[in-house]
Structure 1
Amino acid sequence: MMGNLKLQSLFLQLAFAFCVFISSLSFGDAGITSTFIRSEWPSIDIPLDHEVFAVPQGYNAPQQVHITQGDYEGKAVIISWVTHDEPEPNSVQYGTSDGSYEFTAEGVVTNYTFYKYKSGYIHHCLIADLKYDTKYYYKIGSGDSAREFWFRSPPKVDPDASYKFGIIGDLGQTFNSLSTLNHYMKSGAQTVLFLGDISYADRYQFNDVGLRWDTWGRFAEQSTAYQPWIWSAGNHEIEYMPYMGEVEPFKSYIHRYLTPYLASKSSSPLWYAIRRASAHIIVLSAYSPFVKYTPQWHWIHEEFERVDREKTPWLIVLMHVPIYNSNEAHFEEGDSMRSVFESLFVKYRVDVVFAGHVHAYERSYRISSVHNNVSGDHHIVPDKSAPVYITVGDGGNQEGLAGRFKDPQPEYSAFREPSYGHSTLEIKNRTHALYHWNRNDDGKKVATDAFVLRNQYWARNRRRRKLKKHIQMVIDEEMAS
């Protein structure tokens, strides 16, 4: 009789543990569709005579300065800038003391034409062998035209390296864009993960296309010159304009915004990967071939195999088109990418997938449709191995907000709101990160959506070990009594 009671007690303990496990698979609380309505500033580009577009003083002064990571591990940066009068000087002086530059690096120069627009001289300079977690000062140009900036290198790649990323998408160059950028710069984030659709220059024609790339470069320089922006391309970077004789996709983007794609064995600057602090970041291209046996398909399979969660526990994917989206705008547009990539996201337990494209904000629960692999909300189920999908396409461009969400709100959607803003992801350690979406509330930053993101590799394994240890203790106690 006593033996039966012990077995019943053990069964109840195991059943309780199983119920706790199953509960973690649910969608969680009911999703929220925010009812906030903002007094929207006009979605028109900032006038050309505004101070944010001012050309730096001095003959041939460097302008449109921006930096990005220059290698796989975070020990290099690519510094880029434009000069309009001459291709020289083409070097960067840099060092670890303000005003004292121990080293010099030479860059490369390129330019391009678009219709009858001729770009300035575009310089790209790789600075390698940097020390981790070090502030560097750098100077571009000479004499009265010289300009000085600084940046901080990331900490050494390590599973417990803390780091704060900003997430911005679909920025453009309106007053809403300026609000987003100003708010982001007060966030304390150290690197921007940019989700595509940069300047929206393709909404113009003829020579104004190139002109609006120049204005955006000067507009964003207040941030891009001081910290890396990790670039990804959107549909507004394609610039396929046959009526102007321009049929080379991504021409302006590729000339202006380099990526360290060769360091991750990619064959294209449009898809690549980096490791930074405790994160492995994979950038995908929605507007390049990605189906089976294409170069991007081969590369992503190989890159996922290179991920080492013991060294970089946080696995983040950037892509322009969301594969889960309950907005009327671009609804189901990402289904083809979902059919190709989602099974990989689940297999390799990606922590979070950031996308833009839809000019609103939305966050999902951990969900997937890999067992059905067909479109339609009724096939989407909770999946604890899946990433959280977050759309941050709300930077502030002139196309305006996507204000119409599907009704009712799908069960997989946790929070959604059509407002402008930006996000931050603050990695605390190998198990937890803090996420915030910050709304531009009529010129003020308002923290509107927040949650604790648990790491798919370490936090999950930790829970499993704890549960296994607890069950074993119950068994030992029952058997010993």
Structure 2
Amino acid sequence: MLLCLFFSLSLFSTFIDNGSAGITSAFVRTQFPSVDIPLENEVLSVPNGYNAPQQVHITQGDYDGEAVIISWVTADEPGSSEVRYGLSEGKYDVTVEGTLNNYTFYKYESGYIHQCLVTGLQYDTKYYYEIGKGDSARNFWFETPPKVDPDASYKFGIIGDLGQTYNSLSTLQHYMASGAKSVLFVGDLSYADRYQYNDVGVRWDTFGRLVEQSTAYQPWIWSAGNHEIEYFPYMGEVVPFRSFLSRYPTPYRASKSSNPLWYAIRRASAHIIVLSSYSPFVKYTPQWHWLKQEFKKVNREKTPWLIVLMHVPIYNSNEAHFMEGESMRSSYERWFVKYKVDVIFAGHVHAYERSYRISNIHYNVSGGDAYPVPDKKAPIYITVGDGGNSEGLASKFRDPQPEYSAFREASYGHSTLDIKNRTHAIYHWNRNDDGNNITTDSFTLHNQYWGSGLRRRKLNKNHLNSVISERPFTARF
């Protein structure tokens, strides 16, 4: 009895050491329109000019950040697939030719989808680019990341389950004011699958025009969610992910992946792994084989921050989608702990939640700990499926709050991860409080690799040696 009491107190104190005791926010937001923005609203409008490029978006185009994929749609005719770019606004020294495709969904025929890979870019540089021809040409810009380096600072935004409601617009605009340089998107983009027949395609178009105000200027790192599957036998549409894969390319080949739905990139000081919750992932599947090899390629000396994106959360204390991530947890959690993943971002649940560092890798049905336990080698799990879609918030949390849950709230918002150096990053979750941007949950994230005692001593020793070697010699007697 005393032993059990001692264990319980130790467990509780460990959670306290990880942060404050778990909090369920008492905040209750007032109603804000949770309906899709009407088609005639100006934020969904088609740009001026015949066959003008629209739905412009960019993503990283290679493994290390020296390339981008620029995508756009022309509605009236194929037009040009050229991207003209340079280092000065209005002066485009280089022209690259892209590719062209389109697709049908039921009786909807997409516009002409252009995708252009721009390679050989300089790090930490602002580029200006132009697409389209004549009076319909449009001009944008983007910035490349710093060179891959362990102390490269960089600020990511994290958004999930966005949709195209007034709440979605609020999230998007607040994110754009955050100063973040690119978005880690954790699935469920347009929610076009909530429509039927030709309206599915129409709502993919409106989503692309809505988010263009950000996606045309900085890369969004895409992952797919359940609303991208679009399996509709009653319409004769049984090929999963057709719209998503046609419109949103990923640099999967750069990380030796066999499928665009799972891949990896390195950006600044971060190694980012994107997983697909709705593709086969158990042992011996292509995704499993690929992830096993990708983890071996991670070099924490060059990219100390290891981040994983997925759609379905592994740890979730909301009634919505509870336990849906259990099969992926049992498949991959041991790897997440072994390779000391820093943080795992997921969506799917339309609320916000952050965990402590915990794991359940010792439970094997016939023995081991039956509950998650504190584990300093484990990731922090963060659910940000709160972008603002028309399905509304998941407001019913399980009671009592599990010991692994640090903070949870049913509100719309976005997150930022501001990497400062190889050891520390600052994380914020920003609530959209009826149109206001409010930092509600924040903490300092300590790097799992360089934050350990051994690595910290090594870092301090190397830093001291560099300071001594750079200091001019002065004789002392």
- The equivalent residue for 1:400 is 392
Contact (CA 8 Å) 1:281, 1:318: kept in 2 or not?
A: yes
Three-state SS of the structure 1 residue aligned to 2:431 is strand
- The equivalent residue for 2:60 is 69
Q: Is the alpha carbon distance of 1:392 and 1:362 closer, same or farther for their aligned partners in structure 2, counting shifts above 3 Å?
A: same
Match of 1:421 among 383, 395, 413: 413
Match of 1:239 among 216, 220, 230: 230
Match of 1:451 among 433, 443, 446: 443
The answer to whether the aligner puts 1:334 opposite 2:325 as a matched pair is yes
Q: Distance in 2 between matches of 1:85 and 1:215?
A: 16
**Structural mapping, 1:78-477, within 5 Å:** 78-373=69-364, 379-462=371-454, 465=457
Q: Is the alpha carbon distance of 1:102 and 1:298 closer, same or farther for their aligned partners in structure 2, counting shifts above 3 Å?
A: same
CA positional deviation for 1:25: 9.3
Query: Could you tell me which amino acid in structure 1 is paired with residue 313 of structure 2?
Result: P
Residue by residue, what CA displacement relative to the aligned partner does 1:205-238 show, whole Å, maximum 9, x if unpaired?
A: 0000000000000000000000000000000000
Contact (CA 8 Å) 1:206, 1:244: kept in 2 or not?
A: yes
Residue by residue, what CA displacement relative to the aligned partner does 1:143-202 show, whole Å, maximum 9, x if unpaired?
A: 110000000000000000000000000000000000000000000000000000000000
Query: Could you tell me which amino acid in structure 1 is paired with residue 447 of structure 2?
Result: N
Q: Report the number of matched residues.
A: 448
Contact (CA 8 Å) 2:363, 2:370: kept in 1 or not?
A: no
Contact (CA 8 Å) 2:15, 2:403: kept in 1 or not?
A: no
Contact (CA 8 Å) 1:377, 1:410: kept in 2 or not?
A: no
Q: Is the alpha carbon distance of 1:63 and 1:347 closer, same or farther for their aligned partners in structure 2, counting shifts above 3 Å?
A: same
Q: Is the alpha carbon distance of 1:164 and 1:406 closer, same or farther for their aligned partners in structure 2, counting shifts above 3 Å?
A: same
Q: Distance in 1 between matches of 2:278 and 2:125?
A: 36
- The equivalent residue for 2:3 is none
Three-state SS of the structure 2 residue aligned to 1:221 is helix
Residue by residue, what CA displacement relative to the aligned partner does 1:311-350 show, whole Å, maximum 9, x if unpaired?
A: 0000000000000000000000100000001000000000
Contact (CA 8 Å) 1:85, 1:120: kept in 2 or not?
A: yes
CA positional deviation for 1:88: 1.8
Q: Distance in 2 between matches of 1:119 and 1:371?
A: 49
Query: Could you tell me which amino acid in structure 2 is paired with residue 176 of structure 1?
Result: N
Contact (CA 8 Å) 1:27, 1:411: kept in 2 or not?
A: no
Q: Distance in 2 between matches of 1:404 and 1:434?
A: 29
Contact (CA 8 Å) 2:450, 2:456: kept in 1 or not?
A: no
Q: Distance in 2 between matches of 1:240 and 1:309?
A: 40
Q: Distance in 1 between matches of 2:20 and 2:169?
A: 34
Unaligned runs of 5+ in 1: 1-18, 470-481
Contact (CA 8 Å) 1:194, 1:230: kept in 2 or not?
A: yes
Contact (CA 8 Å) 1:169, 1:394: kept in 2 or not?
A: yes
Three-state SS of the structure 1 residue aligned to 2:355 is strand
- The equivalent residue for 2:40 is 49
Three-state SS of the structure 1 residue aligned to 2:356 is strand
Q: Distance in 1 between matches of 2:236 and 2:453?
A: 55
Q: Is the alpha carbon distance of 1:188 and 1:354 closer, same or farther for their aligned partners in structure 2, counting shifts above 3 Å?
A: same
Three-state SS of the structure 2 residue aligned to 1:216 is helix
Question: Which piece of structure 1 moves more, 26-35 or 195-204?
Answer: 26-35
Query: Could you tell me which amino acid in structure 2 is paired with residue 305 of structure 1?
Result: K
Query: Could you tell me which amino acid in structure 2 is paired with residue 384 of structure 1?
Result: K
* Percent of paired sites with the same residue: 75
Give every structure 1 segment of 4 or more consecutive aligned residues whose post-TM-superposition deviation is greater than 6 Å: none
Q: Distance in 2 between matches of 1:401 and 1:124?
A: 35
Query: Could you tell me which amino acid in structure 1 is paired with residue 297 of structure 2?
Result: R
Q: Distance in 2 between matches of 1:283 and 1:132?
A: 23
Three-state SS of the structure 2 residue aligned to 1:379 is coil
Q: Distance in 1 between matches of 2:15 and 2:401?
A: 21
Query: TM-score, length-normalised on structure 2?
Result: 0.92
Greater C-alpha radius of gyration: 1
CA positional deviation for 1:378: 5.3
CA positional deviation for 1:379: 1.1
CA positional deviation for 1:374: 5.5
CA positional deviation for 1:29: 2.4
CA positional deviation for 1:36: 0.2
Unaligned runs of 5+ in 2: 1-9, 462-477
Q: Distance in 2 between matches of 1:187 and 1:464?
A: 30
